[in-house]
Amino acid sequence: MRFMNKIKLTEQQIAEIAEYLDAGMTCHYNLKTGKIIFVPDFNHMLYADENDWREELDELDENWDDYFTFEPMTSRESFLVMADFIDTVDDRKLQDRLVNALNRRRPFRNFKWEIDNSGPYRQMWFDYKEKWYIEAVKKQIERHNRRLEENE
C-alpha cells in the first residue's frame, strides 16, 4: 500500500523541505524510515547532472512506493503569493511598481527585479515567501495523514 505510514516531521525538517522546494529541488520522504532525499528537478535545472545524483536516484527508483513526494508551489500559487505580499508593503510607490510588474509580460522576472532593488523589502519578501512555503508543506502533510486516517 502506497500510503502506509503517517508523515512525522519536525519544524526544522519542514522548513528544510520548504527551502529546497523553493530552490528547485524535489523532496521525497520515506514513509517507512523517515529518510528525506533531495534531488534537483531535472526538468527545470537543466545544468544539473543526473550522474552527480545517481545514488539518490537509484534509491528512489528501487523504492518508489515507499516515498511521498512533496510538490512545489505551482506558478499560479507563486503568483498569488507575490500578489498577497504586495498588500503587506507599506511603501506606496513600491506597491505600485510591484503591481505593474505582475501585470506586465514576464511577471515573475519583473517582480524579482523590483524586489531585488527594493532595499529592506527584499528580505521581507524572502521571509514572507518562506512562511508560505512552510505552510504549503504542512498542508501536504495534513492531506496525506488525513487520507491515511480515512482509509484505516
Strands, E assignment, the chain: 25-30, 36-40, 67-70
The string of pLDDT tens digits covering residues 23-32 is 989 999 999 9
The string of pLDDT tens digits covering residues 123-137 is 999 999 999 999 999
Angle, helices 92-103/75-86, rounded to nearest 10 degrees: 160
- How large is the average pLDDT for residues 110-122? 96
* pTM for the structure as a whole: 0.86
Under the banding of pLDDT at 50, 70 and 90, the label for residue 1 is very low
Q: Please say whether the beta carbons of 62 and 28 come within 8 A.
A: no
SS3 at position 129: helix
Whose cell is 510607490? That residue is 93
- How large is the average pLDDT for residues 66-86? 94
Under the banding of pLDDT at 50, 70 and 90, the label for residue 48 is confident
Using CA atoms of 51, 64, 41, 9 in order, give the dihedral in degrees to the nearest 10. -120
C-alpha to C-alpha distance for 43 and 36, rounded to whole angstroms: 20
Does 45 have pLDDT greater than 80?
Answer: no
pLDDT at residue 101 in the model:
97
- How large is the average pLDDT for residues 62-78? 92
